[in-house]
Amino acid sequence: MMKIGLQLYTLREETSRDFVGTLRKVAEIGYEGVEFAGYGGMAAEELKALLDELNLVSIGAHVGLDRLRNHLDEEIAFHKILGSEYIACPYLSAEERGTLSSLMEITKIFKDATRKCAEHGLQFGYHNHDFEFTEQIGTKTVFDSIFELTAPAPMFVELDACWVHHAGFDPSEYMMKYAGRVPLVHLKDLVTNEDGSAKTVILGTGEMELDEVIATAKLTGVEWLIVEQDMCQIDPIESVTQSMQWARAHRK
């Protein structure tokens, strides 16, 4: 059975006020693991002890490009202590992804990160938004270009199903296309506004065909369904509580 985790970016305001207390609430809600977006200023050993106490797994973290360029060894050492398995780059700016030459420079960093992570038993990957699918390099989407330019490095896909859908693509088709390379899926729901923008909502209350996403995730070997809500429409703790309840009931 796939495990259910939480991307802590969803609770960024809560963790900024009380990092430890927020992790305790996440464990109480029933999440099995967390994906970090910052570490609350805690030392790795201290954070590992807290995770063990709460019976939470460190799935890994979103690590920005500057940290990948200049502090990757520190990130790897930190996550080896936590027992993490995955490090993902969460975002590329328009300048970084805008041309083939700029993207080639970025993918050099990605290939180096993939190699260094593998040397220490970690995996490196990329997390998408919608722009990787709406923007192209030549005749290919930025998303496909990233993974073609990093070949043969075994970089994993962290597929944010919601943003694939919002870009007009089928997340299940992309899970099948990259089957065996998608250990993590960001599970979120959305409602498209009249102006074409989107707002993220509690799982099961939006327009996503999430049961299909979950079924395909299971078929393609996904390990973690990671709940994330970019902007919560109600109290974030209550939002992730309701999303966890939905995910637990619909997990295959």
Which pLDDT score, from 0 to 100, does residue 21 have? 98
The answer, yes or no, to whether residue 227 has pLDDT greater than 90, is: yes
Tokens 């977006």 map to which residue? 37
Q: Flag whether pLDDT at 76 surpasses 90.
A: yes
Whether 252 has a pLDDT exceeding 90, the answer reads no
CA atoms of 7 and 121, how far apart (whole Å)? 22
Give pLDDT tens digits for 143-187.
999 999 999 989 999 999 999 999 999 999 999 999 999 999 999
Q: Domains of the chain by range and CATH?
A: 3-16+34-194+218-250 (3.20.20.150)
| pTM (two decimals) | 0.96
- What percent of the chain is predicted at pLDDT more than 70? 100
Please give the backbone phi and psi of residue 221, each rounded to the nearest 5 degrees, phi first: 85, 20
